[in-house]
């Protein structure tokens, strides 16, 4: 079980566009206080540049806060010694905004690579392949092990990335804009899939612009504006601010 807590967390970037006496730093997020319990389904919303990707990076440990603390089950992740960081990585299954399957590898090769470098210990190659079959079945991709990324639609590609994120059975999924550029049917398929994964106990944290779907799903909605949380509403709607 993993509870994520952010206490007064800020993240700044060096401002590359600075000219003359402008700001030296760009705000990624500022003074974020947020707790997400195991098994929650949370949408992170906000306009472009509001800080969604930064927040997801801080949650999954990809980014380090400049101020404040990120706690996992009460343990400050900054205090975890480098050689113990590998304990954090298996907690998160990530799907990034960019497409990240390896083009020259089949679906099976992509997923097995993630299983081998992931820190979940499979007892045997057989167990790993059984897990591969299971996650491909879950995303509706049974029997497609030999396909290459170029042979897939964007929606199928996203499902395979989800399967890859799930192969090591992480308790938390962190998803950044994974339904961008998908047609309605594919978006629905992914939301149904995520609902099912969440029903089985996995925390789902998802940055999205898909307002229509957020409004239908009625889950917790965290709204960011200029790097700050302006809304955090259970069974919320897109753009709810409190």
Which residues contact ligand ATP by CB under 6 A?
13, 16, 26, 28, 46, 48-54
Nearer Cβ to ligand ATP, position 16 or 79?
16
The least CB distance from residue 56 to ligand ATP, in Å, is 8
The least CB distance from residue 195 to ligand ATP, in Å, is 23
Q: How many helices (H) and strands (E) does the chain have?
A: 6, 10
The least CB distance from residue 1 to ligand ATP, in Å, is 28
Pick from 74, 53, 57, 52: nearest CA to 4: 74
25 — alpha (psi -120 to 50), left (phi > 0) or beta? beta
Nearer Cβ to ligand ATP, position 134 or 209?
209
3-class secondary-structure state, position 147: coil
Six-digit token pair at 156? Answer: 């199928």
Six-digit token pair at 85? Answer: 């960081």
The least CB distance from residue 90 to ligand ATP, in Å, is 24
Six-digit token pair at 219? Answer: 């889950």
Nearer Cβ to ligand ATP, position 50 or 194?
50
**H or E element: which one contains 190?**
helix 184-199
Nearer Cβ to ligand ATP, position 52 or 164?
52
The least CB distance from residue 80 to ligand ATP, in Å, is 24
């Amino acid at each position: 079980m993993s509870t994520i807590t952010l206490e007064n967390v800020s993240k700044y970037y060096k401002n590359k566009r600075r000219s003359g006496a402008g700001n030296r730093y760009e705000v990624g997020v500022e003074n974020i206080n947020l707790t997400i319990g195991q098994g929650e389904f949370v949408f992170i919303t906000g306009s472009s540049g509001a800080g969604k990707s930064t927040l997801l990076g801080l949650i999954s440990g990809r980014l380090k806060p400049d101020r404040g603390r990120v706690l996992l089950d009460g343990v400050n992740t900054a205090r975890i010694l480098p050689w113990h960081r590998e304990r954090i990585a298996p907690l998160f299954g990530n799907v990034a905004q960019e497409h990240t399957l390896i083009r020259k590898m089949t679906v099976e090769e992509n997923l097995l690579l993630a299983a081998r470098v992931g820190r979940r210990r499979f007892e045997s190659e057989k167990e790993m392949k059984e897990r591969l079959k299971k996650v491909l079945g879950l995303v509706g991709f049974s029997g497609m092990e030999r396909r290459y990324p170029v042979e897939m639609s964007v929606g199928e590609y996203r499902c395979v990335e989800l399967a890859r994120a799930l192969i090591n059975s992480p308790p938390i999924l962190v998803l950044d804009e994974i339904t961008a550029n998908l047609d309605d049917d594919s978006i629905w398929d992914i939301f149904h899939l995520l609902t099912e994964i969440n029903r089985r106990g996995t925390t789902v944290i998802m940055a999205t612009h898909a307002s229509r779907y957020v409004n239908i799903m009625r889950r917790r909605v965290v709204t960011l504006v200029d790097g700050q949380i302006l809304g955090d509403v259970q069974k919320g709607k897109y753009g709810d601010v409190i």
